[in-house]
Structure 1
Amino acid sequence: MTKQYHDTILSDAALDQLYNHARTYNGWLDKDVSEDQLRAIYDLMKMAPTSANMQPGRFVWVRSQEAKERLAECASEGNKDKIRAAPVTVVIGYDIDFHEQLPWLFPHTDAKSWFEGDEEGRIEGAKRNSALQGAYMILAARAQGLDCGPMSGVDLDQVTGAFFADQPRVKADWVCSIGYGDPNTIFDRSPRPDFERFNSIA
């Protein structure tokens, strides 16, 4: 029987590591991130929810210098060196035809039929849920003691061509560097709104 954790609140130290003291890094210490660490991140990320367990995210973990150069060529000028210096930068993409995998990912019912013939609906669902998976990835990396630097300043068509050319139904959406952040490269934390500003309880 699976233990239920619903009544357990994480320690202040854990919440600080995931949220309160975690920052977006622009530079990195000269420390490697291993393949085992990347697999550990994925193994946490995949457990988080997506609609009908669709798991539409497709990820390329860019570690080699050659791959970093290819990705940097797709980035805005301000992001090129960030990508080159990071131990790993992940390309987060989404599979438009994720529904082909639903017979084994969501075997309780014929979920594949829900999405057949509706490519626009699939794109909407894939983009939303792969973005969720990318957010889960950031939390998973932080849980492993790593830091993140998410970026949207890339030419997505170029990134798609460079990293998903063999998967014509997969499109790149954003990228995120992962490593051990250099504290000298972060800015002062920007303001965060209090609850009353953007929330209501109905």
Structure 2
Amino acid sequence: MTIANDALVLDAAAQDLLFREARTANTFTDEPVTDEQLQAIYDLVKYAPTAFNQQALRVVLVRSAEARERLVAQMADGNKAKTSSAPLVAILAADNEFHEELPNQLPHFPQAKEMFFSERPVREGSAAFNGALQVGYFIIGVRAAGLAAGPMTGYNAAGINKEFFADGEHSVLAVVNIGKPGEDAWFPRSPRLSYDEVVSTV
């Protein structure tokens, strides 16, 4: 149901598509998700803000049957069937070596170099936080493509990292099923906190 809000520049239909009517999908049709769609999604969401423009997110598209089997084995029992049947599954990970991609001509590069180039724990924490920001944008981008996203964190993180990121340079952040929603795709909408419960002024 569309709710008009004159305080927002985004038109009501786009608000519904991206937010009010968008849901986490649990079932999908067998309609494929193309590389062209994923390219368009990435080209939209790559503008997400990150500290020092670090762009720590890395995306692994799980397309082969062999890779899907390896991934499903690491999912929680309640997520195995969903991950097995989704048209496309993406593993979203943080690149803990993102500093190697920082352009050295940026004005803040000396500060970033001091912070990130020698301190692995600092890099990992920053990669996890900024990669998570990008995960949120990625989900919105999937919705903008007219697809449904089923993001999950119910998995064996150590197992996924071992299977897909054995070099230790990446850490899984989320696994996202992607496709057109299928039959009975949605759980009942859970309540959201109200503005007054969340926002305070000081």
- TM norm. shorter chain > 0.5: yes
**Deviation, structure 1 residue 8:** 7.7
Is the 8 Å Cα contact of residues 100 and 112 (structure 1) preserved in structure 2?
A: no
Letter in 2 for 1:163: F
The aligned counterpart of 1:194 is 194
Deviating more after overlay: 26-35 vs 92-101: 92-101
Equivalent residue, structure 2, for 1:4: none
Q: Which amino acid aligns with 2:106?
A: P
Do the aligned residues in 1 keep the contact of 2:57 with 2:134 (CA within 8 Å)? yes
Farther-moved stretch of structure 1 (125-134 vs 182-191): 182-191
Q: Deviations over 1:161-189 (max 9, x none)?
A: 11112x42111122111111125121110
Unaligned runs of 5+ in 1: 1-6
Name the counterpart of 2:168.
168
Question: Is the Cα–Cα contact under 8 Å of residues 32 and 87 in structure 1 kept in the other structure?
Answer: yes
Q: Distance in 1 between matches of 2:113 and 2:127?
A: 13
Matches within 5 A, 1:98-113: 98-103=98-103, 107-108=106-107, 109-110=109-110, 111-113=112-114
Q: 1:44, 1:65 → 2: CA distance?
A: 28
- Deviation per CA, 1:95-122: give whole Å up to 9, x if none: 2121121135x62332323312222221
Write out aligned runs for 1:54-69 (5 A): 54-69=54-69
Contact 2:151 2:175 in 1 (8 A): yes
SS at match of 1:185: coil
Question: Residue 190 of structure 1 aligns to a residue in which SS?
Answer: coil
SS at 2:47's partner residue? coil
Distance in 2 (CA, whole Å) between partners of 1:183 and 1:120 is 44
Q: CA deviation at 1:66?
A: 2.0
Specify every segment of 5 or more residues in structure 2 that has no aligned partner in the other structure, as ranges.
1-6
Inter-partner Cα distance in structure 1 for 2:55 and 2:62 = 20
Partner residue in 2 for 1:12: 12
Provide the rounded CA distance (Å) in 1 between the counterparts of 2:32 and 2:103: 38
Shift of 1:81: 0.9
- How many residue pairs were aligned? 194
Percentage identity across paired residues of the two chains: 40
Which residue in the other structure is 1:89 paired with? 89
- Contact kept, 8 Å, 1:156 with 1:174, in 2: the verdict is no
Contact 2:88-2:177 at 8 Å conserved across structures:
yes
2:154 maps to 1:115: no
RMSD: 1.6
Matches for 1:25-104 after TM superposition, within 5 Å: 25-103=25-103
For 1:93, give the aligned amino acid. A
- Tell me how far apart the structure 2 counterparts of residues 63 and 135 of structure 1 sit (CA, whole Å): 22
1:182 aligns to what?
A: 182
Aligned counterpart, 2:4: none
Measure the CA separation in 1 of the matches of 2:183 and 2:40: 24
TM-score, normalising length: structure 1: 0.90
Equivalent pair of 1:31/1:179 in contact (CA under 8 Å)? yes
Give the direction of change, closer, same or farther, for the CA distance of 1:185–1:173 in structure 2 (3 Å limit): same
Counterpart of 1:159? 160
3-state DSSP of counterpart to 1:122: helix
Query: Which stretch of structure 1 is more off in the superposition, 167-176 or 20-29?
Result: 167-176
